[in-house]
Amino acid sequence: MPNRPFAGVDELKTCIYRVIQEALHNCARHSHARTFKVVARQEPSKIVLSVEDDGRGFDARRVRGLGLVGMEERVHHLGGAFEVESRPGAGTRVAVELPIAS
C-alpha cells in the first residue's frame, strides 16, 4: 500500500494518540525513567511529535519490539517520518512528523 500525501483529520488524530500512547507505555514498562517529556505541535505543513525520557535506553539499531514497529507502520502509512534515538544509559527519544494539508 503506497504512502498517501495527506491523511484525514480522524486518521491523524488516531495516529497521534496511538503513537504517544505506545511511547508512554514503553517508557513506563521498559525505561525505568524518572522523567519524560511529550511535545506535539502543528506547523504549517506538518504535525511534529516527540516523546523523550531519561531512562536506561537501549540499542535502537538492534532492538525493534512490536510497539515500535507498530508506531512506525502507522506513521509511514500516513506518509510521515518516524525516528527512534536511544542508546544504553542515555534515554530514548521517539520523533514523528506527519504531513497535513494546508
Sorting pLDDT into bands at 50, 70 and 90, what band is 9? confident
Q: What is the per-residue pLDDT across 13-44, written as a single tens digit (0 to 9) for each?
A: 999 999 999 999 998 988 999 999 999 999 99
Task: Give percent above pLDDT 90 in the chain.
Answer: 68
Helix/strand/coil (H, E, C) string of the chain?
CCCCCCCCHHHHHHHHHHHHHHHHHHHHHHHCCCCEEEEEEECCCEEEEEEEECCCCCCCCCCCCHHHHHHHHHHHHCCCEEEEEECCCCCEEEEEEEECCC
- This prediction's pTM: 0.84
Among 2.30.36.70, 3.40.47.10, 3.30.565.10, 3.90.120.10, name the CATH number for the domain at 9-99. Answer: 3.30.565.10
